[in-house]
């Protein structure tokens, strides 16, 4: 399990595979090479929601055509000073479901850069710092309903593979604004991370269960130690 002291201010480095050659090759998609692994504590269903492994770099996955089948995406778990996680309802569904922000990784863009960009585009949040990220891709299939709505280049994808980030929001709630250029959400709230998986759309549930299993202990430890009360020094 991650230690709180190692989480602050930067994403921890991910150790290379025993063969470092793959990490040295140029990755066409531009994602920062990392490992794809499976947690020993995951159920068989949760393991099925992770990218194939163990010890495959993003370069390996790219060469195997993984990102032609699964759209590269980032998921954003944003925690506030009370240890609660940002959740929102989408504008394109009438269902009473909640989710965390997410978005695609542009060609040549690193995952962390995409995470910060997508968060600002969807919520206007800028007062954030990255605490940590998962070292594997979590994937889900699009539901038949969603697939029926997709067009263009989206038709090639069975679903999305997500690199998840845990971020700390240290700003004021007044900074959050959903009235963005390409509005994604209609309402938002803060909630315990454990309440998200039961309230997300079913086809994302296994991913949210694994994100909760990984991030909930980290959030709890940081909250207990008062680390989520951190504010940047006054200029």
Note the pTM of the prediction, 2 decimals: 0.77
- Would you state the structure tokens that stand for residue 216, as one six-digit string? 């909930």
Contacts of the segment 62-65: beta carbons below 8 A, 24+ positions apart: 62/27, 62/28, 62/29
Has residue 151 been placed in a domain? yes
Has residue 16 been placed in a domain? no
Has residue 169 been placed in a domain? yes
Band (51; pLDDT cuts 50, 70, 90)? low
Q: Which residues are within 8 A (CB) of 174 and not within 5 positions of it... i.e. 6 or more apart?
A: none
Has residue 19 been placed in a domain? no
Is pLDDT at 211 greater than 70 in this prediction? yes
Has residue 75 been placed in a domain? yes
* pLDDT for the residue 49: 60
Q: What is the CATH number of the domain that holds 166?
A: 3.90.79.10
Q: What is the 3-state secondary structure (H, E, C) of 93-159?
A: CCCCCCECCEEECCCCCCHHHHHHHHHHHHHCCCCEEEEEECCCCEEEECCHHHHHHCCHHHHHCCE
* pLDDT for the residue 60: 83
Average confidence (pLDDT) over 127-142: 96
Highest mean pLDDT among 10-19, 53-62, 67-76, 94-103 belongs to 67-76
Has residue 199 been placed in a domain? yes
When divided into structural domains, the chain yields a total of 1
* 78 close to 132: Cβ distance less than 8 angstroms: no
C-alpha torsion 4→52→114→12, nearest 10: 30
Domain assignment of residue 158, given as a range: 4-10+29-175+182-225
Is pLDDT at 45 greater than 60 in this prediction? no
- Would you state the structure tokens that stand for residue 88, as one six-digit string? 């929102």
* pLDDT for the residue 148: 82
How far is residue 182's CA from residue 171's CA, in Å, rounded to a whole number?
A: 23
Has residue 15 been placed in a domain? no
How far is residue 87's CA from residue 79's CA, in Å, rounded to a whole number?
A: 10
Mean pLDDT of the chain: 80
pLDDT in tens, 100-117: 999 999 999 999 999 999
Has residue 18 been placed in a domain? no
Is pLDDT at 26 greater than 60 in this prediction? no
Average confidence (pLDDT) over 13-40: 30
How far is residue 42's CA from residue 171's CA, in Å, rounded to a whole number?
A: 34
Band (50; pLDDT cuts 50, 70, 90)? low
* Between 29 and 89, the higher pLDDT residue: 89
């Amino acid at each position: 399990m991650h230690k709180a002291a190692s989480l602050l201010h930067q994403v921890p480095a991910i150790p290379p595979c025993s063969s470092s050659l793959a990490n040295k090759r140029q990755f066409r998609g531009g994602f920062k090479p990392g490992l794809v692994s499976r947690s020993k504590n995951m159920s068989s269903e949760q393991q099925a929601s992770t990218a194939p492994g163990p010890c495959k770099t993003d370069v390996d996955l790219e060469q195997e055509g993984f990102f032609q089948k699964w759209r590269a995406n980032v998921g954003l778990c944003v925690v506030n000073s009370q240890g609660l996680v940002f959740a929102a309802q989408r504008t394109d569904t009438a269902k009473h479901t909640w989710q965390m922000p997410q978005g695609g990784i542009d060609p040549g863009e690193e995952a962390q850069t995409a995470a910060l960009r997508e968060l600002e585009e969807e919520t206007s949040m800028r007062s954030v710092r990255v605490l940590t990220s998962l070292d594997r891709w979590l994937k889900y299939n699009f539901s038949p309903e969603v697939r029926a709505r997709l067009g263009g280049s989206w038709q090639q994808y069975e679903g999305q593979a997500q690199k998840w980030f845990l971020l700390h929001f240290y700003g004021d709630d007044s900074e959050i604004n959903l009235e963005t250029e390409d509005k994604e959400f209609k309402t938002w709230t803060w909630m315990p991370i454990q309440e998200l998986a039961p309230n997300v759309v079913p086809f994302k549930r296994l991913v949210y269960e694994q994100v909760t299993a990984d991030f909930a202990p980290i959030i709890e430890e940081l909250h207990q130690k008062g680390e989520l009360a951190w504010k940047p020094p006054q200029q």
